[in-house]
Structures are given as structure tokens and as C-alpha cells.
Amino acid sequence: MKNIKTNLEENTLVITINRPDKLNALNETVLTELESIIIDNRDKPNIKCVIITGEGDKAFVAGADIKEMSSFSSMDAIKYSNKGINLFNIIESYPKPIIAAVNGYALGGGLELALACHIRYISKNAILGLPEVSLGLIPGFGGTQRLRNIVGLGNAIEIITSANHIKSEDAKKLGLANKICDNVLEESIELCKKISNNSSTAIRNAIQSIVSGMNVNYYDSFSIENNLFSQLYETEDSKEGMLAFLERRKPKFKD
């Protein structure tokens, strides 16, 4: 991998976008490498969680590579947008929790990447925003939709049309961040350790229920939950989890 580093911290795969001289900006190579890593580790049983972060302390991902984008035709833009949308859809529907450890700037495509992750932990110096309209563009990796889902219609339109940068405290108030951290990577890893103690099978179903429920009628979403909930009664994990509770001991999940 040219632009990506990986490290295994117990049961957590840490993926680091490694273009610090470009503030970890996304280009086609980064998107391709990131997709490859995400897919390759999808079904590995020893990996319970994934963290995505950026190299250095200045930026998570400061946006897309404008130099690369400046030469695009409309057809090039369609292909580039589809590439990002497809990758971020994979991240959003991933069966293992993916945490964005936002260490600095998360702008444009960088914020779109963070929005696709299930959880966002951010540093105190984090700056978030979707400034594409200042370039005569709009977000093209699903950001208009995911931002609306997370912060609501009015906030999403204000953030996108103003191209404002959002500081960490305001990001937390808006719901863009789960937590502001003193050490974003360490605290993300600690969260992953807690998650890893629970049933991976149940976690997979929980993520599927939450994400799938966003894309159907509200009342239809309960049928999805009901189906995924009842399926778990056929698993060894559910039997072990309930037995351990009754026996007042920690469960030993086999996943």
C-alpha cells in the first residue's frame, strides 16, 4: 500500500491514511487502497473493530485531492463520485464497528468519510466542514445525505451552503461527534476493547438493523429488527450470553 498503513491493536485494525504532506487528502489511489483493506478484513474473526485515522496531528483527511479533480470532465466526476459513494456505503454497512478517529481537519471528502463511519471520536483541535460550494461544487461522496441524517435538514443546509468550518465543541453539540478526546486514537482503541468483549454476531445484526432501517419506511424497519433479533436465538452466542447472566459470570462468546 502506497498511501495506507495498518496496525493490529489486539482485536482492532487501525487504518491510517498516510499522506501527511497533502494533509491526507483523498485521491483515487487512496480510495482504491482503502476499499481493498476494508473488504479484505471484513470476515477475519480476529478483527472485532476498525479505526480509521490520518497520519500526523494536523489532519484526519483535509478533503479530496483538488489538483487531481481540477482536470476532471463530467464523466470523470461521475466515476470518481461513484467510487467514493460505493466505498463509503461499504463502510456504513460494515458488519464490524468502524470508528473515525478525527485528529485535526476533516473537510470535504474527509468529513464524508467520517460521516460514513459508525462512530466519530474527535480531537480538541478538530475542524470539520463541507466547503465544496466555495469551489463551485457540492459534496459528491454521499455527504449531503448523511449529513442531513445526522444533524437534520436545517443544520445540513446551513453547514453546506455556508462552507463554514466547525470547531470541536460545536461539532459535538450538532451530533457530528460522539466524543471530544484528549488522545483520540488511544480513546478510540479503549472503546474498541469494550466493544470486543461483546458478541460479534449480535453486533453485526445490530449494525445491519440500524443501517437497513434508515432506508425503508419507519414502520417497516421494525420488521427488519424483529427478523434480526429472532435470528440470534439460533446462535450459540445468545445461549451463552443469557446463561452467563443467569450464572452471574462473564460470557465466553465464540462468535
From the list 48, 44, 25, 169, the residue with the least C-alpha distance to 106 is: 25
Q: Are residues 149 and 206 in the same domain?
A: no
- For residue 133, the enclosing domain spans 4-196
Which pLDDT value is given to residue 105? 97
Tell me, yes or no, whether 254 lies in a domain. Answer: no
User: What is the rounded CA–CA span in Å between residue 205 and residue 171?
Assistant: 29
pLDDT for position 215: 83
Please check whether residue 65 is in contact with residue 22, taking contact to mean a CB–CB distance below 8 angstroms. yes
Residues 220 and 184 in one domain: no
- Residue 9 is inside which H or E element, if any? strand 4-9
Element (H, E) at 207: helix 200-213
Same-domain pairing of 77 and 137: yes
Q: Are residues 170 and 215 in the same domain?
A: no
Q: Indicate whether 42 and 168 sit together in one domain.
A: yes
* Joined grid coordinates for residue 152: 437534520
In the chain, % helix, strand, coil (3-state, to 5) comes to 50, 15, 30
**pLDDT of the residue at 254:** 86
- Give yes or no: residues 27 and 137 share one domain: yes
Provide the sign of the torsion angle of the four alpha carbons 139, 188, 49, 118, taken in this order.
negative
C-alpha cell at 124: 480538541
Is 214 found in the same domain as 179? no
Give the domain CATH number at 222. 1.10.12
Same domain for 164 and 106?
yes
The yes-or-no answer on residue 10 being catalytic is no
Distance from the first to the final alpha carbon of the chain: 30
Q: How many domains does the chain have?
A: 2
pTM here? 0.95
Options 10, 28, 132, 247, the catalytic residue = 132
Do 119 and 169 have their domain in common? yes
- CA distance linking residue 26 with residue 80, whole number of Å: 11
Residue 252 lies in a domain: no
Active-site position among 9, 10, 112, 225:
112
41/147 same-domain check: yes
Catalytic status, residue 132: yes
38 and 151 co-located in one domain? yes
Please, what are the averages of pLDDT over each run of 10 residues along the chain (255 residues)?
94 97 94 97 96 96 90 94 97 98 97 98 97 96 96 98 97 97 97 96 96 90 95 95 96 89
Say yes or no: 28 and 115 in one domain.
yes
CATH at residue 146: 3.90.226.10
Q: Is 255 inside any structural domain?
A: no
- Picking from 196, 218, 238, the residue at the C-terminal end of a domain is 196
Domain membership flag for residue 216: yes
